[in-house]
Structure 1
Amino acid sequence: MAYTANQLDVLQGLEAVRKRPGMYIGGVSSAGLHHMAWEVLDNSVDEAMNGHATEITLTLHKTGDTVSVADNGRGIPVDKNRKTGKTGLELVLTELHAGGKFQNDGEGNYKTSGGLHGVGASVVNALSKKLTAQVKRDGNEYKMEFAKGKPTTKLLKKKGATRGTGTTITFTVDPTIFPKTQFNPETLKGRLETVSFLHKGVKVNFVDEVNGNKATFQHHNGIADYLNQVLKERNARPIHDAAFGFEKENGERVELVLQWTESTDEHIRSYVNGITTAAGGSHENGFRAGLTKAVRNYIDTHKLTPRGVKITHDDIREGLVGILSVFIADPQFQGQTKDRLNNPEVQAMVDGALRPALEQWLNNNSSVAEQIVARIIAASRARAASRAASASISRKSATNKLTLPGKLSDCSSSGRGDSELFIVEGDSAGGSAKMGRDRAHQAILPLRGKVLNTESANLKKVLDNKELSDLVTAMGCGIGPAFDASKLRYQRIILLADADSDGHHITTLLLTFFYRHLKPLIDDGRVYIAVPPLFRIDIGKETHWAADEEDRIRILEEANGRAKPEISRFKGLGEMMPKVLWETTLNPKTRKLLRVEIADQLETDRVMSDLMGKDPSARFRFIMERAEDAEEIDV
């Protein structure tokens, strides 16, 4: 076919958003769906951030796919724009890059803002089946409706005078864009509470009509209260009483609060103008640089480093829990999803603000400083021991194939290619898998019993566990400081456990291990969960395989009484014939695999800490809150 100008498409207005929604909200998954709510919420937060609003209310309506965000700010302008002849409200909701957040000459309406791209409201409008905007300002109330980004009514003015000011945006997501349209009330609620922490004094309300609940958040201590909540959520025990915190404002503002704990990992939550920056950026780089310099200067000045101990930046930050929030005039985010800050000047700004403040705090609180330094030295010694153990395992795995675990049935292919490592529950299931597999490309490693819960385990304890040590050796990529993804011996790592509750528990333990100690493999899309059948259903001459109870019911309903079904339930993979295991679970053409992905880093971390951490009260709370959802318990 000839390639001419006739093959070029020009998308008008918001057509591009509907054609490629992933460019604007990161995708149409659950994360993209909730990003719609965040875009509208951020506009109300911008009003509060700049002193124009004191209260924000988000309502999840009964249908579950409709959200309203209301604030008592100034209200979106409704007068006509001289350049376009359109009202300000229509411009904001129908044109990309239209808004009052672009002026940076000192005379703009927003000193700081989370919505400087100017596409948020219009993108939400474009991806909504219906959107209604209500504005109160200048003693009047106005209303305008839209569908899929286009106006369906003119700007309507309500008769009679109206008190107060503000904006309410109500939108219903478009089911032709989003495969799942139901918002998660807990996700919305968590974001709203975070907003109240980051903007102290602002009243934030959540109305959950789906479950008939209401909540109000208001934190006058700001991120200091937030730190206390994060410590409780993570069950992280501080090693010193007083947290370090400071605020510095010089045109732009830096807020920081942190505390060292007994945990073995670092946990920093960072924000720019109230926007979560899960991927970090220049402000986090400045934080880490300033922290390391301040602590090193204190240690060196007081000559506290023991002989033979080499302290690294990882040792200094181990166990650190902190909240960093910066407010700047012109944030440059990486992409519309705004999960990383790119402003290079912010690194120096945060570094310069933090270093002298932390050094002074350490010098003024010598007893606390001594506790922190002792914790850092202990971390350095433990890391050295773990590094030696990890290097030993890495050397063994790299020496030759004879050093691989004896119970590993490796594949015969020499390169990584399409090779797969199945981590199987028990020797019995391992035997069936070994006989049923594709020997050229599929390796089988059976693990005995339930592996170590690694949520709170340090690297040395992990490596002392034979089952996990064998797994690390089989994969060949090392762990901890010796980790090298390029040395991974397989294209895919597949967790294969029974389809019952014990199997789910073992899978959860393995997921905890990968998440806490080999997370780059998850990030790179290397870790999968196999879905073996729990039921075999014979209907006449047809055989069906059901992964769970819900799947079984669906198959029976589809059969619609054609013949009397014969149902058998597998006790475990070990009782499956090798041929059946191949057809249902191992064969790439017929099997079902679930790739392990992290949609929300903070939520994943919280759930993992709650369910696998040392604090039983978090699990008890989780069970009690969801007890009514359990129709049948497999015991």
Structure 2
Amino acid sequence: MTKDTRKTEYGNESISSLKGADRVRLRPGVIFGSDGLDGCQHSFFEILSNSIDEAREGHGNVIEVTRFTDHSIMVQDWGRGLPVDYNTKEERYNWELVYCELYAGGKYQNNSGENYEYSLGLNGLGACATQYSSEYFDVTVFRDGYKYRLHFEKGENIGGLSKEKCKYEQTSTIQKWKPDIQVFTDISIPLEYFQTVLKKQAVVNAGLRFILKDEESGETFVYCYENGIVDYIKEITREDGFTEIQFYETSTKGRDREDKPEYKVKMQIAFCFNNHTNLLEYYHNSSFLEYGGAPDKAVKNALVYEIDKCIKNRGKYNKDEAKITFADIEDSLILVVNSFSTVTSYENQTKKSITNRFIQEAMTDFLKQQLEIYFIENKIESDKIVEQILVNKRSRETAEKTRINIKKKLSGSVDISNRVKKFVDCRTKDLLKREIYI
């Protein structure tokens, strides 16, 4: 029996497009970065981001997250309530735009200050993509004197928009959903993930209170940092820091290229030096930048430049000694950057890195200026910093030299019979029969 190896002809009918919920359900990794647990976790963060944006605009100061035993999730905020009724400008209902239309939302005019100025949500993808990738998705909104309700199953709306007159104490948006196991390979988001994310968001949104309720353990966790990143660094460094915590804050405007629009930037930088703990974290518009990008480059450039300059000015380098590297500084550094901008160039939808040229340049210049003043005005502390960084540097160099010397020594002690497998020991004492072939 012969195997049929014929293939379908590749022609004009071979090209097709995904439509509706299939755009996400069949390719979740495009939006969420993965079809595994990481992607499922990011779908939750998309919904949380919208509540954070609302709170940052001054509407509500509490966000409540509930983790249920069946892997469903609920996020409630006490903001203005999501507009879900009819939109005369678009001639469609807003709930359709938000939950059923990719690239639709209220955050495209943030640079002009129309709605959300410093927005974590940006592309109009998150709510729709999360709804599309859910087994079910329920929305309850209190606003305009009404209670609105929506229900979706596997990306499809069931029953349209329910609207009834209602008395309530304050406006609110409640979203409850269950990630679909048919979309993600794993939907068992661990409690630790929620704890970590909500704590980080409390750190960079000073005064905003996050409440996490876990149905599985019956526990409730509350996260709030009244003084933001400064309180966070105090918590980390405890009594082990050998310098005081420094906090710098500024606002500026600029553009990434001459022909690009001008945008606003706010930045907060806090750090101290510690011999027992080190930490480097970057956040932009409250998204944790796992890969850093522009802020990471700015911090490294500014710190190496100013500390190297300080060491040279104080004559602390030995003759012909190489300059410090950031690794020498990082060994004793606790630093957190919290920046915001009205125009943001994220590396991708998962928002783990930003690439804005102006943010990098502005942050580098600002940090250089502040460090220069700090080193001049705090001679005792800056001497401690310089001495410790030189200790780190010289220890690293000594360790590297030791490693190289040991490697050379070990390499030199290996005889040729061990290094070249085709050479074997002689098995005869007859000199006439002992030969070597090259």
Bin of the TM-score, shorter chain as denominator length:
0.7 to 0.9
Which one of 385, 392, 396 corresponds to residue 398 of structure 2? 385
Of 33, 40, 49, which aligns to 1:33?
Answer: 40
Report the 3-state secondary structure (helix = DSSP H, G, I; strand = E; otherwise coil) of the residue aligned with 2:347.
coil
Q: Which residue of structure 1 lines up, in the alignment, with residue 315 of structure 2?
A: 303
Query: What is the match of residue 127 of structure 2?
Result: 121
User: Where does the alignment leave 5 or more consecutive residues of structure 1 unmatched?
Assistant: 414-635
1:519-534 paired onto structure 2 within 5 Å: none
Is residue 191 of structure 2 the alignment partner of residue 192 of structure 1?
Answer: no
Shift of 1:348: 0.4
Q: Provide the rounded CA distance (Å) in 2 between the counterparts of 1:310 and 1:216.
A: 48
Partner residue in 1 for 2:379: 366
**Are the aligned partners of 1:310 and 1:380 in contact in 2 as well (CA < 8 Å)?**
no
- Give the match's secondary structure for 2:138: strand
Letter in 2 for 1:95: E
What does residue range 117-196 of structure 1 map to in structure 2 within 5 Å?
A: 117-196=123-202
Shift in CA distance, 107/395, structure 1 to aligned 2, threshold 3 Å: same
Describe the SS at the equivalent of 1:180: coil
Whole-angstrom distance in 2 between the partners of 1:226 and 1:76:
32
Deviation at 1:399, TM superposition (A): 7.2
Residue 272 of structure 1 corresponds to which residue in structure 2? 284
Q: 1:327 aligns with which of 340, 357, 374?
A: 340
SS in 2 for 1:380: helix
Q: Which has the higher contact order (CA 8 A, sep 6+)?
A: 2
Q: 2:241 aligns to what? A: 238
Which deviations, in whole Å up to 9, do the C-alpha atoms of 1:284-342 show, x marking residues without a partner? Answer: 11111112222223333333334343232232333212111111111111121111111
Give the Cα separation in 2 of the matches to 1:32 and 1:155: 29
Q: 1:298 touches 1:363 (CA, 8 Å); kept in 2? A: no
The answer to whether the Cα contact below 8 Å between 2:98 and 2:104 also exists between their aligned partners in 1 is yes
Matched AA of 1:229:
E
The reply on whether 1:352 has 2:381 as its aligned counterpart is: no
Q: Which amino acid aligns with 1:30?
A: L
Matches of 2:315 and 2:371, distance apart in 1: 18
Does the CA-based 8 Å contact 1:13-1:96 persist in structure 2? no
Q: Which letter does structure 1 place at the counterpart of 2:179? A: V
SS in 2 for 1:305: coil
Aligned residue among 25, 28, 36 for 1:21: 28
The residue correspondences of 1:76-91 to structure 2 (distance < 5 A) are: 76-82=82-88, 84-91=90-97
Q: Is the 8 A contact 2:346 2:354 kept in 1?
A: yes
Give the TM-score normalised by structure 2.
0.86
The answer to whether the 8 A contact 1:277-1:340 is kept is: yes
Q: Is the 8 A contact 1:14 1:96 kept in 2?
A: no
Aligned equivalent of 1:481: none
Match status 1:59 vs 2:44: no
Structure 2 partner of 1:535: none
Deviation per residue, 1:548-583 (Å, 9 max, x gap):
xxxxxxxxxxxxxxxxxxxxxxxxxxxxxxxxxxxx
For residues 111 and 14 of structure 1, the distance between their equivalents in structure 2, rounded to whole angstroms, comes to 30
8 Å contact kept, 1:14–1:95: no
Deviations 1:336-393, CA, capped at 9 Å, x for gaps: 1111111122110211221111221222211111110110111121122122123335
Cross-structure match for 1:292: 304
Displacement of 1:74 in angstroms is 1.5
Partner deviation per Cα, 1:212-239 (whole Å, 9 max, x = no partner): 011222211100121233446xxx9423
**Equivalent pair of 1:309/1:380 in contact (CA under 8 Å):** no
Higher helix share: 1
Residue 259 of structure 1: aligned partner: 272
Contact map agreement 2:118 2:341 (CA 8 A) in 1:
yes
- The runs of 5 or more residues in structure 2 that have no matched partner are 1-7, 253-263, 423-438
Give the paired residue count: 403
3-state SS, counterpart of residue 158 of structure 1: strand
Bigger mean CA deviation after superposition, 290-299 or 213-222: 290-299
**TM (normalized to structure 1)?**
0.60
Q: Is the 8 A contact 2:204 2:228 kept in 1?
A: yes
Seen in structure 2, the aligned counterparts of structure 1 residues 315 and 209 have a Cα distance that, compared at 3 Å, is same
Q: CA RMSD in A?
A: 2.5
What's the secondary structure of 2:92's corresponding residue? coil
Deviates further, 211-220 or 103-112: 103-112
Confirm or deny: 8 A CA contact 2:37 2:185 kept in the other structure.
no
Q: Which residue type is aligned with residue 62 of structure 2?
A: E
Q: Is the 8 A contact 2:111 2:342 kept in 1?
A: no
In structure 2, the CA distance between the partners of 1:395 and 1:21, relative to structure 1 (3 Å rule), is: farther
